Amino acid sequence: MDAENLHFFEKAPIAKAVAHFAVPMMLGTSMSVIYSILNAYFLGTLHDTAMLTALALTLPLFAAIMALGNLIGMGSGTFISRLLGEKSYDKAKHVSSFAFYSSLVLGLIVMAAGLPLIDPIVRSLGATPDSFGYTKDYVTVMLIGSPLVVLFFTLENIVRSEGAAVTSMVGMMLSVAVNIALDAIAVFALDWGVVGVACATVVSNGVASAFYAYHIGRKSRFLTVSARWFKASKEILANVLKIGVPVFIMSVFLGAMSLILNHYLVEYGDSAVAAYGISSRLLQFPEFILMGLCEGVVPLIAFSFAADKGRMKQTIGFTIKTILALAASFGVIVYLVSDHLIGLFTNDPGLIEMGSYILHVTFLSLFITGLTTLFVGVFQATAQGTAAFIMSVIHGITLIPVLYFADRLHGFHGVVWSLVVADAAAFLVGAAMLYLLRKKLQPDLDGLVQG
């Protein structure tokens, strides 16, 4: 951590400190969504709905692999930020080395366990006869590349934990640039289709991981990838898992919910799955910008929780106002041009109409999901493991019964609207827990939820 980062942690005005930590993360996550959208765009130019369906069906798998990276990365990252606030620098090195090697091991376990079970995995994802082959191709590549994907998400988190927000952004943007270039080559020049898109994702994650490892090994004062600093003590495991496990469960639930939703949508045809896949990718752009804002301030909140809780309160309050402003702005734009956005991926009028409808409905809860993400970030940063765990399961627990009854009562429309209901339930639970924990986090935090 250099003097500039320390200044933003401790002394800079709140707006400038939040901007320092959050803006690079927002730019990085938005670029990540852009390449996710471009994956669908490149395949869309081939005018094969089955390929787009396969891309949508594999979202739960990618979410599960990403979850392992966040299990180690978010757990280690928030612990590192608190350790830096306490000035426990050697412990921070032990945690960063633990994060690096344990993420590689987890990725290798996924690859070894998943490859022999390819066909069952593809069937469980809900692949139809038309999309089975494409889905299997994508799953195979992602399983082989899972160590690099897990490592990427882990290292991005721990680099950000010491305040190196710009470095974190550069790594994400490097991944995006490599992915886009390889997408174009694989689809247009090599005619690799789904396999090419999957390979581009894996290779780009590997390139970014190498960049982060170089930064940690050569330029960071308080992080390391050296094996001699590796330590898996009870303290490290307890603090990493206390936050990492809820994050992992949340990511798995998101993947499982996407899987369940796809199973319901398949009943309404491949077009429904493809429309949801396109609209969800478009929705990811504002969602990931808000996520970048909320995740970007987590190191600042964690550091302040250990060093200056009054500054923590001001950071959270400013972030809430920013979320509301951004959500309102995105909502206006989407409602004005939704048909044109869906039309970038397909020329099928029915698919455009269906995708636009899904986009309109799901955008209703954008500000809710933004605040919910902030609640989760606050619980992670302040080591409130129980609250983080509850937030990790509440959305899925709500969605499953709502989805079941909504589908039977209102068909396709009920399936789409069930997402909004589940988002609202998660928001209410998070707000209630933050209110109940306000005294524990900060004696004068009462005004936070109210204002």
Distance between CA 173 and CA 29 in Å, rounded? 9
Distance between CA 153 and CA 177 in Å, rounded? 17
The pLDDT of 309-313, averaged and rounded, is 82
For residue 105, which of 63, 65, 150 has the smallest C-alpha distance? Answer: 150
Please tell me the predicted confidence (pLDDT) of residue 328: 86
The residue behind tokens 């709905």 is: 49
- Across 4-42, b (16+ Cβ under 10 Å) vs e yields ebeebbeebebeebbbbbbbbbbbbbbbbbbbbbbbbbb
Statement: residue 421 has pLDDT above 90: no
Mean of pLDDT over the chain: 81
Count CB neighbours of 141 within 10 A.
20
For residue 277, which of 256, 250, 251, 259 has the smallest C-alpha distance? Answer: 259
pLDDT tens sequence across 44-59: 666 666 777 777 777 7
Please tell me the predicted confidence (pLDDT) of residue 273: 78
Is pLDDT larger for residue 166 or for residue 318? 318
Q: pLDDT tier at 150 (50, 70, 90 boundaries)?
A: very high
Distance between CA 87 and CA 72 in Å, rounded? 22
Taking the model in full, what pTM does it have? Answer: 0.69
Q: Tokens for 436?
A: 């109940």
Q: Which of 14-28, 100-114, 281-295, 343-357: highest mean pLDDT?
A: 100-114
* 49, part of any domain: yes
pLDDT over 90, % of the chain: 11
Q: pLDDT tier at 440 (50, 70, 90 boundaries)?
A: low
Distance between CA 323 and CA 200 in Å, rounded? 32
- Cα 124 versus chain centre, distance: 22
25 and 298 in contact (C-beta within 8 Å)?
A: no
Distance between CA 300 and CA 7 in Å, rounded? 11
* 2, part of any domain: no
Statement: residue 449 has pLDDT above 60: no
Give the helix ranges, DSSP H, for 86-192: 89-114, 118-124, 132-144, 146-161, 165-184
Q: pLDDT tier at 354 (50, 70, 90 boundaries)?
A: confident
Please tell me the predicted confidence (pLDDT) of residue 103: 92
pLDDT tens sequence across 377-394: 888 778 777 887 787 778
Distance between CA 319 and CA 314 in Å, rounded? 9
At 272, the amino acid letter reads A
- Cα 387 versus chain centre, distance: 19
Q: Which of 27-36, 136-145, 231-240, 258-267: highest mean pLDDT?
A: 136-145
pLDDT tens sequence across 361-372: 888 888 788 888
The region that residue 269 occupies, defined by phi over 0 for left and psi between -120 and 50 for alpha, beta otherwise, is left
The number of folded domains in the chain is 1
Range of the domain at 320: 16-450
pLDDT tens sequence across 68-85: 888 888 888 888 888 887
Please tell me the predicted confidence (pLDDT) of residue 154: 92
Please tell me the predicted confidence (pLDDT) of residue 446: 46
pLDDT tens sequence across 181-204: 888 888 788 878 788 888 988 999
